Amino acid sequence: MPRSRLAFWIFLAPVLTWLLLLIVLPHLDLLTMSFRGENDYGDMVWTGRNYLNFFTEPIYWLTFVRTALYAVVTTAITFVLAMPVAFYISKLARRRLQGALMIFILLPFWVSELVRIYGWMILLRESGVLNFFLVKLGVLNRPVEMLYNDATMIMGLVYTSMLFMVVPLVSVMDSLDDSLIEAAHDLGAGKLAIWRTIIIPHCKPGITSGAIVVFMLTLGNYLTPNLMGGKNSLWFTEQIYNQFIASFNWNQGSAFGFLLLVLSSLIIWAGLKLSGQKLGEVAS
Amino acid sequence: MIRSLPRSKTYDWSFNAFIILYFVFLFAPLVVTCVLAFNNSDFPSLPWQGFSLDWFVADGPDRVGLFHDAQNLRSIVTSFETAFFVSILSVVVGTCASFLFEKEEFRFKGLLYMLMLAPLVIPGVILGISQLLAANTAGTFVDETFGVDIPFFRPSFWLVVLGQFSFITTFVTLVVSARLRKFDPALEEAALNLGATHFGVIRHVTLKFLRPAIVGAGAVAFLMSFENFNTTLFLVGSEPTLPINLYLQVRDGSTPVINAVSLMLIVGTSLLALINFYFTRKTD
């Protein structure tokens, strides 16, 4: 149908304002800030020192690598846990139960991440609920501090991003025709063969989109590593926060921020390329 | 294997057990938080000291319940105000964006679409710091050129609104676009042939059709804004939102008032999420 130019501009103007003012310009600013710094006289000059600092200070790049590796581990664990859950919901549960289970899966994630992490803290800390019961039951002699270590932190990260793996997996599994599995079974295929040749290949798009979202959310998470990880479990977003808020070194912080942005974009891009998908498809 | 195929008892049992454990894992922190909000103890931990509503209604001096806790109450109000403005803004702009991308053809559409999707892959922390940088640059610029100091450009309420708006709009756009794709353009043509104006058509036909998606997207935007932490962290000024305020309290040692706040949050978001489910159900 023919459209007026006016309508086009009415749609375009707010969208363009949003994208230019709040997405493009701020990130260009981030990039320029990261190349600025003070020289010995306190004047602002162009410099690559912020990036140089990153590579020469082991604590910075080690944290960076650590964050990336832990994000990969978290994504893998989330996938392993989510796969059977998704399979159960779409292929095993009684039809009437399916809807209820989906609602139950979604509900906790609408509650603020902070509240969920706080819940884990009450459960796991030395004076926490779990310790109370373990001591009562005689499993432990005295309470053990279960918070503030890497394993707990990863569990927290898995917990906070679980949903973003389960939902795409359920939706791809729903679209898998049961009769394919039945046929394979009738022809004598074992469980392993069915998973390897039918279920997993069919679920690939869901796996990729889930993995990308979980990876990105974990990489950029601040709250969970900060509250559940100990003093030693440094997370790269904490470094960024420290540069910005504690040291007030915005130029260094910008460089860190830009590096994190590059890393997350690169890995997402690689994930999309490897699985032959487009961002738009993954998103919707 | 699946519903229609014969399965062994052990398979069924172990699968059911796994699913039950998974849901325990999912809900344990929330349940514990809620229960301990009613514990008559000064710390959010066991043993159970008896039922008490102190953490909601106590009026000092030893205990200050949520309803008398000015700081927490104010942050709840701030969160409501923020979420209100964010959802209005993002629904308006997001709807414009979905009209733009679904119904218009123009140069650089692909590029603009990629930009619209960008917030999906930008970690929240990075969005926060780049927004902070851009606002600071703009503030400095205005100050140096015109000699006026505008408080808006410093971390403030409106900066939080803009920061959250910048990525929540993307989600609104995706939800509304999905619905718009199902729209039959013949309806618009019919209305036009019957003499309706372009804007009359959009108002009475297209927007009516989109209403469930718009309401649903608005609810999602509201919840996302209400629970956002990562982006808000860098933009927040003297009026903290609820997640930021809770974070500061959890970090510095917790009292059961936090449990009381969490309980309200859990109940509130669950209700809103259920309403949202109801609306999206009706859409399909």
Q: Which is it for the CA torsion A100, A103, A108, A111, positive or negative?
A: negative
Query: CB atoms < 10 A from the CB of B213, how many?
Result: 22
Q: Which CATH superfamily is domain B70-253 in?
A: MetI-like (1.10.3720.10)
Q: Is residue A69 part of a domain?
A: yes
For residues A205 and B166, the model is more confident at B166
Q: Do B4 and A24 touch (CB under 8 A)?
A: no
Q: Does A41 touch chain B (CB under 8 A)?
A: no
Per-residue pLDDT tens digits for B173-204: 998 998 888 888 888 888 888 888 877 888 88
Q: What is the pLDDT of residue B27?
A: 92
The answer to which of A18-27, A223-232, A257-266 has the lowest mean pLDDT is: A223-232
Per-residue pLDDT tens digits for B94-110: 999 998 998 888 888 88
For residues A3 and A113, the model is more confident at A113
Given a cut of 80, whether residue B253 has pLDDT beyond it is no
Q: What is the pLDDT of residue A1?
A: 44
Measure CB to CB from residue A14 to each of B96, B112, B162 and give the nearest one.
Answer: B96
Closest alpha carbon to A164 in B171, B12, B77 = B171
Say what the ipTM of the complex is. 0.85
8 A C-beta contact, residue A134 and residue A140: yes
For residues B58 and A116, the model is more confident at A116
Q: Is residue A101 part of a domain?
A: no
Smallest CA–CA distance from B250 into chain A, residue = A118
Given a cut of 80, whether residue B279 has pLDDT beyond it is no
Please, which residues have CB within 8 angstroms of residue B211's CB and are 6 or more apart in sequence?
none
Q: Do A222 and B230 touch (CB under 8 A)?
A: yes
Q: Does B137 touch chain A (CB under 8 A)?
A: yes
Q: Is residue A133 part of a domain?
A: yes
Mean pLDDT, residues A241-268 taken together: 88
Q: Is residue A87 part of a domain?
A: no
The domains of chain B are located at: 70-253
Question: Which chain B residues have a beta carbon less than 8 Å from that of A281?
Answer: none
Q: Is residue A95 part of a domain?
A: no
HSE of B217, CA atoms in CB hemisphere, 13 A: 28
Measure CB to CB from residue A240 to each of B112, B129, B242 and give the nearest one.
Answer: B129
Question: Which chain B residues have a beta carbon less than 8 Å from that of A4?
Answer: 198
Residue type, B74: R
Q: In B, residues 215-274, which contact A (CB 8 Å cutoff)?
A: 223, 226-227, 229-230, 233-234, 242-243, 246-247, 250-251, 254, 258-259, 262, 265-266, 269-270, 272-274
Smallest CA–CA distance from B36 into chain A, residue = A122
pLDDT band of residue B18 (cuts 50, 70, 90) is very high
Percent of chain A clearing pLDDT 70 (strictly above): 95
Given a cut of 80, whether residue A146 has pLDDT beyond it is yes
Q: What is the pLDDT of residue A3?
A: 56
Give the domain extent around A277. 49-81+109-171+202-283
**Domain total in chain A:** 1
Question: Which chain B residues have a beta carbon less than 8 Å from that of A117?
Answer: 29, 250
Cβ-in-10-Å burial (0-12, 13-18, 19+) of B208 comes to: exposed
The answer to which of A244-253, A271-280, B238-247 has the lowest mean pLDDT is: A271-280
Given a cut of 50, whether residue B34 has pLDDT beyond it is yes
Q: Is residue A98 part of a domain?
A: no
Distance CA A211, CA A277 (A): 13
- pTM of the complete model: 0.87
Question: Which chain B residues have a beta carbon less than 8 Å from that of A244?
Answer: 129, 132, 234
Question: Which chain A residues have a beta carbon less than 8 Å from that of B174?
Answer: 283-284
Mean pLDDT, residues A139-143 taken together: 82
